[in-house]
């Protein structure tokens, strides 16, 4: 049985300028695997991720024929039931750790807060678990990081702390929304391989949202390509280079390459029938 | 008629305006649509508009002369035929006096709006933009003014200048600019380092042009919000000065002065002080609600999308 | 380049910021030369000081040592209008570099007003067409434009004064891949048409390689290695850092 099943998901925003359809009928199934969602900004990839957690604020509205997580109907769940799911069974890592960590709280305290409040464990146990979590994301000087405030950490370090924090309750599903795009390329590779190993070892489901096709290709099992709120192509990651859909091909071809020709980069044809 | 109104509304929603004017109107229209969603703000707007209408049409609306005394009708209670708010100790119709009083209130409010925020905006943006010793000097002056309670400083100024409406306005304006300078400076400090300011400096723009054309438009919304929220305070200070006999002089129908006059009969003829008090209360509330609503619409941080 | 006079010459440039009493060296003794109509790239990770060099050229960052020469002459402080007409910059984030309360028209006519250039209507329309925007966008506000459209406006603004040199500070890093391609193509075209000299900063080696003839790799405020385009394409780096940057480039991931 699949872990997450989404059928005909729609997200709309009723604004002054009229109705904005951010997601228009997205359906997918997710097992304990790594699913990538790629698309440009405004393609609805982030909204899809947030809609699974029902984290869309008014005037946004979520509609779906069905959205079930491990047998539980997410559309019918109460706000209290959703709160119990969020963080504990479905975790989310955001783009920039600067905005996701509390700036006036030490990292250690933030890591232990959830454990102490949710699971009512003792201070010592919580501390040990927090240290273990930081170890798992390969932070070497754990003691310093535990005592540090978020602004004292580098971007890559902050994002590792975020991942550690999300993984403490051992969730079944991790939604990572552009988890590395605020990081330098060399750090990016490190963080990704850590995330990869954790997901593999713990048998989690992963939804990896990114604008970077190349990153997703290397890192996921299956890829959904989104455009204007719709899925235009679903493809195994290893076949991505041989994608058939013109949009996916366009996304790949428009990237410059080291040692490539100097000619104009091929643009994306947004007027074809699939874009309607 | 419906045809015309629908073409107006499409013109106001045009994504590709054809002129500066249309572009500005489209933005104003969208802000208005957002503003309209907030019922409390709409109440505030209604009260403010009512105040303006009252003061414009006071001579038409008022059944009696606000100043002429009619000693035969002294201290009639509310509900008396012809005097639905009652009369005061000189037999003057309270409703007529409140109507004419709105003119004075509005006059004071407008004069303060035209002076204090302008002074504050200039001092704040100049201090924030240049920094260094200019900032130090200007902000210490601001601090000196801020250090005194508003009413006490106004009292001292009126005592020096002599009582009267114009002097009261002057005193209020002189005491209320420092908060605007603070707000404008804080806003300038964040704007100063932004890329769009760097870009216009890089084009060779001088300090005057940067401050007037680029920094001030960004500070304006916060200052406007602050002004509407402060209006209640201005009205109360003006009323306070009137109450203490240092503002508008009798027999002018100023609300604070009316409360002061009604103080003597507060227990027996409660309406003499209560009616102008209610007027001050409602108008202050109106400006406050309006200010809150404007914050949602004008705040550059919330209108980013 | 040798004896040929360089258009941009930077000698031993150091930039030191004063942050809360602490002195932070953002750039240390960096030298580079860019010939006329050449395209030079600066590449490095965050904190490498690459953007600070551009800002120092414009007078937006404090130069603590070294010399900056444009066209053989040392730059004046403050930079002045003659400098503005010669050197312009395109900023990284098109969401932050356009004044949120000015229409496109106002943004584009501002440089003309500053320099007292007439015939503004026609010039603004031409500028819009040149960067591939419809003239109907003239009275839009930035928030009515997409990221790519905003960056086109920023490029148009930089070109209003017909400068010789364009400083590009990660002009496409905030944009989607397909939009990045469009903006890079636009920059290439404009450079060819107008004989512009580019000094471009990016963290993306593939973008720099696509746009530039030479590239300087930077790390922690210091110059690590200068490479020609051919040396980069054939992976002939001398230093480990340049090699690791090359290996981590997103461009390599598909093969990896």
**A positions 228-257 inside 8 Å of C (CB):** 241, 250-251, 254-257
Average pLDDT on A51-55 reads 88
Summarize pLDDT for A233-245 with one digit per residue, the tens.
888 888 887 888 8
Domain total of chain B:
1
Strand runs (DSSP E) across A43-114, as ranges? 60-63, 66-69, 72-73, 90-93
Q: What is the DSSP letter of A151?
A: G
A258 near B CB under 8 A: no
pLDDT at residue B301 is higher than 60? no
ipTM score: 0.90
Has residue B14 been placed in a domain?
A: no
Query: Within 13 Å and on the Cβ side, how many CA atoms surround B32?
Result: 9
Between C239 and A244, whose confidence is greater?
C239
Counting as contact any 3 or more CB pairs under 8 A, the partners of A are B, C
Has residue C4 been placed in a domain?
A: no
Q: List chain A residues with CB under 8 Å of B13.
A: 17
Has residue C190 been placed in a domain?
A: yes
| Residue located via tokens 């119709």 | B93
- Going B17 to B21 to B24 to B26, the CA torsion angle's sign is negative
Split at pLDDT 50, 70, 90, the class of B303 is: very low
Summarize pLDDT for A25-43 with one digit per residue, the tens.
899 988 888 899 998 888 8
Average pLDDT on B116-129 reads 94
C19 near A CB under 8 A: no
For an interface test with A, the pick among C206, C232, C254 (most A C-beta atoms closer than 10 Å) comes out as: C254
Q: Let me know: does B134 contact B232? Beta carbons within 8 Å.
A: no
**Residue B130 structural domain:** 35-71+78-298
A40 near C CB under 8 A: yes
Has residue A109 been placed in a domain?
A: no
Helix (H, G, I), strand (E, B), or coil: what is residue C167?
A: strand
Cross-chain CB nearest to C177 (options A186, A255, A264): A255
**Closest CA in chain A for residue B35:** A16
Cross-chain CB nearest to C110 (options B22, B195, B200): B200
Mean pLDDT of chain C: 89
What pLDDT is attached to residue A216? 84
- Residues A168, C109: Cα–Cα separation, whole Å: 55
Has residue C108 been placed in a domain?
A: yes
Summarize pLDDT for B187-229 with one digit per residue, the tens.
999 999 899 999 999 999 999 999 999 999 999 888 988 888 8
Interchain contact, B205 vs C144, CB within 8 Å:
no
φ, ψ of residue C163 in degrees (nearest 5): -75, 165
Q: What is the DSSP string of chain B?
A: -HHHHHHHHHHHH-SS-SSHHHHHHHHHHHHHHHHHT-HHHHHHHHHHHHHHHHHHTHHHH-SS-SS---GGGTTPPTTBTTBTT-B-TT--BHHHHHHHHHHHHHHHHHHHHHHHHHHHHHHHHHHHHH-HHHHHHHHHHHHHHHHS-HHHHHHHHHHHH-SSHHHHHHHHHHHHHHHHHHHHHHHHHHHHTSHHHHHHHHTT--HHHIIIIIIHHHHHHHHHHHHHHHHHHHHHHHHHHHHTTSSSPTTS--HHHHHHHHGGGTTTSTHHHHHHHHHHHHHHHHHHHHHHHHHHHH-TTTS--
Domain CATH for A186? 3.40.50.300
- Gap from B18 CA to chain C (nearest CA, Å): 7
Summarize pLDDT for C145-180 with one digit per residue, the tens.
888 999 999 999 999 999 999 999 999 888 888 889
Q: Quote the tokens at residue A177.
A: 């929304």
Average pLDDT on A45-50 reads 88
Average pLDDT on C76-86 reads 89
Domain CATH for C172? 3.40.50.300
What pLDDT is attached to residue B305? 36
- Gap from B288 CA to chain A (nearest CA, Å): 25
Has residue B11 been placed in a domain?
A: no
Q: List chain A residues with CB under 8 Å of C211.
A: 256
pLDDT at residue B136 is higher than 50? yes
Between A37 and A158, whose confidence is greater?
A37
pLDDT at residue C88 is higher than 70? yes
Summarize pLDDT for B238-266 with one digit per residue, the tens.
888 888 888 888 888 888 888 888 888 88
Average pLDDT on A70-79 reads 86
- Residues C207, C183: Cα–Cα separation, whole Å: 11
- Going A244 to A248 to A253 to A256, the CA torsion angle's sign is negative
pLDDT at residue C73 is higher than 60? yes
**Residue A56 structural domain:** 4-95+171-256+263-275
- Gap from A182 CA to chain B (nearest CA, Å): 19
Mean pLDDT of chain B: 86
Task: Using an 8 Å CB-CB cutoff, list residues of chain B that contact chain C.
Answer: 15-20, 22-23, 27, 194-196, 198-205, 209, 213-214, 217-218, 300, 303-305
A18 near C CB under 8 A: no
**Closest CA in chain B for residue C83:** B204
Between A68 and A186, whose confidence is greater?
A68
Q: List chain C residues with CB under 8 Å of B303.
A: 143
What pLDDT is attached to residue C252? 57
Split at pLDDT 50, 70, 90, the class of C203 is: confident
Q: Let me know: does C226 contact C239? Beta carbons within 8 Å.
A: no
Q: Quote the tokens at residue C150.
A: 């905003």
- What is the CA B19 to chain-centroid distance, rounded? 32
Q: Let me know: does B75 contact B83? Beta carbons within 8 Å.
A: no
Interchain contact, C210 vs A212, CB within 8 Å:
no
Note the helical H segments in C11-145.
50-58, 80-86, 104-114, 120-130
Query: What is the DSSP pairing of strand A66-69 with strand A4-15?
Result: antiparallel
Four-point Cα dihedral A44, A46, A49, A51, nearest 10: -60
Has residue A236 been placed in a domain?
A: yes
**A positions 13-32 inside 8 Å of B (CB):** 16-17
Count Cβ atoms below 10 Å from residue B91 Cβ, excluding itself: 17
Cross-chain CB nearest to B305 (options C81, C101, C143): C143
- What is the CA B188 to chain-centroid distance, rounded? 23
**Residue C47 structural domain:** 39-55+78-252
Has residue C70 been placed in a domain?
A: no
- Residues B103, B15: Cα–Cα separation, whole Å: 41
Interchain contact, B204 vs C115, CB within 8 Å:
yes
Average pLDDT on C105-122 reads 93
Q: Which of C228, C224, C241 is nearest to C28 (CA)?
A: C224
Counting as contact any 3 or more CB pairs under 8 A, the partners of B are A, C
Has residue B1 been placed in a domain?
A: no
Interchain contact, B304 vs C140, CB within 8 Å:
no
What pLDDT is attached to residue B139? 94
Helix (H, G, I), strand (E, B), or coil: what is residue A188?
A: helix
- Residues C74, B111: Cα–Cα separation, whole Å: 53
- Gap from A144 CA to chain C (nearest CA, Å): 22
What pLDDT is attached to residue C256? 40
Has residue C72 been placed in a domain?
A: no
Interchain contact, A17 vs B34, CB within 8 Å:
no
Orientation of helix B271-298 relative to helix B255-262, angle to 10°: 150
pLDDT at residue C1 is higher than 50? no
Summarize pLDDT for B171-192 with one digit per residue, the tens.
888 888 999 999 999 999 999 9
Domain total of chain C:
1
- Gap from C189 CA to chain B (nearest CA, Å): 23
Between C129 and B26, whose confidence is greater?
C129
Summarize pLDDT for A110-137 with one digit per residue, the tens.
888 877 877 778 888 888 888 888 888 7
Domain total of chain A:
1
Q: List chain B residues with CB under 8 Å of A16.
A: 30, 33-34
Has residue B23 been placed in a domain?
A: no
A57 near B CB under 8 A: no
Whole-model pTM: value is 0.84
Interchain contact, B22 vs C143, CB within 8 Å:
no
What pLDDT is attached to residue A271? 67
pLDDT at residue C218 is higher than 70? yes
């Amino acid at each position: 049985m699949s872990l997450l099943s989404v059928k005909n998901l729609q997200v709309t925003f009723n604004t002054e300028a009229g109705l904005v359809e951010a997601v228009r009928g997205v359906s997918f199934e997710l097992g304990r695997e790594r699913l990538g969602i790629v698309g440009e900004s405004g393609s609805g990839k982030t909204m899809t991720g947030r809609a699974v957690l029902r984290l869309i604020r008014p005037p946004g509205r979520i509609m779906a024929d069905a959205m079930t997580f491990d047998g539980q109907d997410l559309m019918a769940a109460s706000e209290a039931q959703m709160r119990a799911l969020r963080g504990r069974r479905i975790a989310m890592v955001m783009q920039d750790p600067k905005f996701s960590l509390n700036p006036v709280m030490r990292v250690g305290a933030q890591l232990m807060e959830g454990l102490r409040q949710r699971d009512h464990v003792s201070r010592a146990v919580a501390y040990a678990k927090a240290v273990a979590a930081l170890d798992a994301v390969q932070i070497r000087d754990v003691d310093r990081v535990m005592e540090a405030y978020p602004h004292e950490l580098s971007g890559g370090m902050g994002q590792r702390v975020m991942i550690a924090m999300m993984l403490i309750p051992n969730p079944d599903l991790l939604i990572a929304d552009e988890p590395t795009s605020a990081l330098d390329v060399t750090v990016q590779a490190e963080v990704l391989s850590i995330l990869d190993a954790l997901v593999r070892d713990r048998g989690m489901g992963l939804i990896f949202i990114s604008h970077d096709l190349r990153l997703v290709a290397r890192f996921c099992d299956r890829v959904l390509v989104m455009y204007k709120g719709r899925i235009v192509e679903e493809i195994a990651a290893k076949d991505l280079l041989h994608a058939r859909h013109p949009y996916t091909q366009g996304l790949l071809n428009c990237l410059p390459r080291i040692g490539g020709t100097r000619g104009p980069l091929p643009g994306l044809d947004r007027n074809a029938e699939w874009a309607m | 008629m419906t045809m015309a109104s629908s073409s107006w509304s499409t013109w106001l929603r045009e994504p590709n305006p054809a002129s500066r004017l249309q572009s500005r109107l489209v933005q104003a229209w969208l802000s208005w649509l957002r503003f309209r969603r907030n019922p409390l703000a709409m109440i505030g707007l209604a009260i403010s508009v009512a105040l303006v209408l009252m003061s414009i049409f006071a001579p038409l609306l008022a059944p009696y002369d606000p100043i002429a005394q009619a000693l035969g009708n002294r201290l009639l209670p509310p509900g008396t035929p012809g005097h639905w708010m009652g009369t005061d100790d000189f037999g003057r119709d309270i409703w007529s006096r409140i109507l004419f009083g709105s003119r004075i209130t509005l006059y004071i409010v407008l004069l303060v709006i035209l002076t204090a925020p302008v002074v504050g905006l200039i001092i704040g943006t100049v201090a924030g933009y240049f920094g260094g010793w200019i900032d130090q000097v200007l902000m210490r002056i601001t601090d000196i003014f801020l250090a005194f309670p508003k009413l006490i400083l106004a009292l001292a100024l009126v005592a020096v200048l002599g009582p009267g409406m114009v002097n009261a306005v002057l005193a209020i304006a002189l005491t209320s600019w420092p908060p605007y300078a603070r707000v404008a400076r804080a806003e300038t400090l964040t704007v100063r380092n932004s890329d769009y300011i760097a870009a216009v400096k890089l084009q060779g723009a001088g300090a005057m042009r940067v401050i007037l054309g680029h920094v001030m438009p960004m500070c304006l919304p916060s200052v406007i919000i602050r002004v509407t929220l402060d209006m209640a305070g201005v009205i109360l200070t003006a009323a306070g000065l009137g109450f203490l006999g240092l503002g508008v002089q009798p027999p002018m129908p100023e609300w604070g002065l009316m409360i002061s006059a009604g103080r003597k009969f507060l227990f027996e003829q409660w309406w003499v002080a209560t009616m102008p008090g209610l007027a001050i209360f409602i108008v202050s509330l109106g400006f406050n609600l309006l200010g809150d609503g404007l914050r949602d619409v004008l705040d550059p941080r919330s209108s980013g999308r | 380049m040798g004896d040929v006079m360089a258009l941009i010459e930077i000698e031993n440039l150091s930039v030191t910021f004063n942050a809360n009493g602490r002195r932070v060296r953002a750039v240390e003794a960096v030298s580079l030369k860019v010939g006329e109509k050449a395209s030079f790239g600066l590449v490095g990770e965050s904190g490498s000081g690459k953007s600070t060099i551009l800002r120092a050229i414009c007078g937006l960052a404090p130069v603590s040592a070294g010399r900056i020469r444009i066209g053989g002459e040392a730059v004046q402080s403050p930079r002045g209008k003659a400098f503005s007409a010669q050197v312009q910059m395109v900023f990284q984030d098109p969401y932050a570099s356009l004044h949120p309360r000015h229409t496109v028209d106002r943004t584009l006519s501002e440089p003309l007003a500053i320099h007292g250039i007439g015939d503004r209507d026609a010039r603004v329309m031409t500028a819009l067409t040149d960067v591939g925007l419809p003239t109907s966008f003239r009275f839009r506000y930035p928030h009515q434009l997409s990221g790519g459209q905003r960056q086109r406006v920023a490029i148009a603004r930089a070109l209003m004064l017909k400068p010789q040199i364009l400083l590009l500070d990660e002009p496409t890093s905030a944009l989607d891949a397909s939009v990045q391609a469009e903006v890079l193509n636009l920059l290439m075209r404009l450079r060819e048409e107008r004989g512009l000299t580019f000094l471009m900063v990016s963290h993306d080696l593939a973008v720099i390689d696509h746009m530039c003839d030479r590239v300087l790799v930077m790390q922690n405020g210091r110059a690590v290695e200068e490479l020609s385009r051919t040396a980069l394409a054939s992976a002939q780096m001398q230093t480990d850092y340049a090699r690791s940057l090359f290996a981590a480039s997103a461009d390599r991931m598909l093969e990896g």
